[in-house]
Structure 1
Amino acid sequence: MKVSQSIITIITLALIMPFSNAYDPSPLQDFCVAVNNLNGGVFVNGKFCKDPKQVKAEDFFYSGLNMAGNTDNKVKSNVTTVNVDQIPGLNTMGISLVRIDYAPYGQNPPHTHPRGTEILVLIEGTLYVGFVSSNQDNNRLFTKILHPGDVFVFPIGMIHFQVNVGKTPAVAFAGLSSQNAGVITIADTVFGSNPPINPEVLAQAFQLDVNVVKDLEVKFKN
């Protein structure tokens, strides 16, 4: 009898413990508007927030996504970000937004968001988009040609890109599952680090001549 009770107890704990340790607790307040001046904030739910009584509609507002970004740059694209830095009311909400403008044949070069999945909808133009899975999945490439109204998802952490394959400008909007998803542009990060990565290290990693690497580091120097 004692053995049976012990087994029941162990099974019960095994079933309960994963659930008790593996959930995302709900926020303890309606909102937690980010505040830079800690003297004017209150510590709520692990964050410094504006006093709720001082919160205004402007804390949840941003204007300007109707305006095209400047694509006169080396990649011929522009990303207008709307995250917690632009809308403090996004703090703790786990979402943000970007507008991406592409000149003809412009691209949003291979990059990754370490803290968020991205869902993109094309509004104008034609895009060739894709992402590469991780090493454990044999680095498979997933691509699509998007037309207005099409939607594509880039999983969190995956290296992905978009290229305007049309002769006219393209516009897309994307939501991200983080108040600040972060961005790591692969070429800029690898060849434009500060200070530079030893060229011999990169030459071996990319199987390139060391002089080619040195030339790339000059081009991507911040």
Structure 2
Amino acid sequence: MLFSHFHQNQDQEINKKFTVSIHIHMAMKSLSFLAVLSILALTLPLALASDPSPLQDFCVGVNSPASGVFVNGKFCKDPRIVSADDFFFSGLNRPGNVNNPVESNVTTVNVNNLGGLNTLGISLVRIDYAPQGQNPPHTHPRAYEILVVQQGTLLVGFISSNQDGNRLFAKTLNVGDVFVFPEGLVHFQFNIGRIPAVAIAALSSQNAGVITIANTVFGSRPAIDQNVLARAFQMDGNAVRDLQNRFLRV
């Protein structure tokens, strides 16, 4: 009888420990689930709270729509009257006029001349270069770019940010070669061959924008104070004045 009672107490003790272990395990799983849920609750609002990237240089707030314009795209055409022509552009087979100081020409296909691109976040350009012509250092504030050479030989490159030490990433491209320019970084293309060159590039915005560095700095209207540019470029004020006069005439 004593032996049986001893085993009964031992079984009860084991069952009690097993039950406690199960409760602890379930509690730990609940805590893990709550922890994951809490992390998601904290991070998801942050990920979804960002405003859409602007598709124009600036957007000044106004109280009256009568003095405002539609931004971040264009008004949508009534779907009932949309046709195939709204998604069609013709002309990239024709060379651009390279008779200009940099001896290059960019033919743009964006939302302004191909309405079907509206809201799609993509555009296209054809770039023609005379021998020794260049697409001078510039940046696209709203897009990255992927370029493929159709004809000729190009020296291309981009410069990283100040934080990365302004490193130059450059490459010589031949027909069929592809190069990517990250968003917002200054980049260029230069025809180092003896024949005209042609490239096609796609950009990750329906209106990527372009800022040509030399034109922007020396050709702004009104002009930037010469002392600012002389200090920034470590140049004589007369040299700055000469550059400003050149770009203001363009």
TM range (shorter): 0.7 to 0.9
Q: Residue 242 of structure 2: which of 205, 212, 215 is its match?
A: 215
Distance 2:110 2:73 in 1: 19
Query: Aligned to 2:184, which of 133, 157, 161?
Result: 157
Give the whole-Å Cα distance in 2 for the aligned partners of 1:109 and 1:184.
10
Matched, 1:13 2:25: no
| Distance of aligned partners of 1:144 and 1:195 in 2 relative to their CA distance in 1, 3 Å threshold | same
Aligned position for 1:81: 108
Aligned residues: 203
SS across alignment from 1:189: helix
Question: 5 Å matches for 1:63-142?
Answer: 63-142=90-169
Structure 1 distance, partners of 2:31, 2:237, is: 65
Structure 1 residue 169 corresponds to structure 2 residue 207: no
Structure 1: stretches of 5+ with no match in the other structure: 25-42
TM-score by length of 2: 0.75
The DSSP-based 3-state class of the residue aligned with 2:39 is helix
> Can you list the C-alpha shifts for 1:28-68, whole angstroms capped at 9, x where unaligned?
xxxxxxxxxxxxxxx9x996311111111111111000000
Letter aligned with residue 90 of structure 1: L
In the alignment, does 2:223 pair up with 1:193?
A: no
State the alpha-carbon separation in 2 of the partners of residues 187 and 118 from structure 1: 20
Aligned counterparts of 1:102 and 1:96: Cα–Cα separation in 2: 20
- C-alpha change, 1:46 and 1:63, in structure 2 (3 Å) is closer
What amino acid does structure 1 have at the position aligned with 2:37?
A: T
The alpha carbon displacement at 1:14 in A equals 1.5
TM-score by length of 1: 0.85
Larger Rg over CA atoms? 2
Moved over 4 A (4+): 3-8
Structure 1 residue 19 displacement after superposition: 3.7
Aligned to 2:82: 55
3-state SS of paired residue (1:50): coil
Identity of aligned residues (%): 63
- Give distance in 1, aligned partners of 2:146 and 2:36: 40
Give the structure 2 partner of residue 31 of structure 1: none
Equivalent position SS for 2:89: coil
Q: String of CA shifts for 1:57-108, please: whole Å, max 9, x gaps.
A: 1111110000000001100000000000010110110000000000000000
Root mean square deviation, CA, Å: 2.5
| Larger strand share, 1 or 2 | 1
Residue 47 of structure 2: aligned partner: 22
1:142–1:124 CA distance, 2 compared to 1 (3 A)? same
Distance 2:145 2:190 in 1: 16
Partners of 2:88 and 2:115 in 1: CA distance: 9
Q: Distance in 2 between matches of 1:205 and 1:189?
A: 14
Offset, 1:10? 5.1
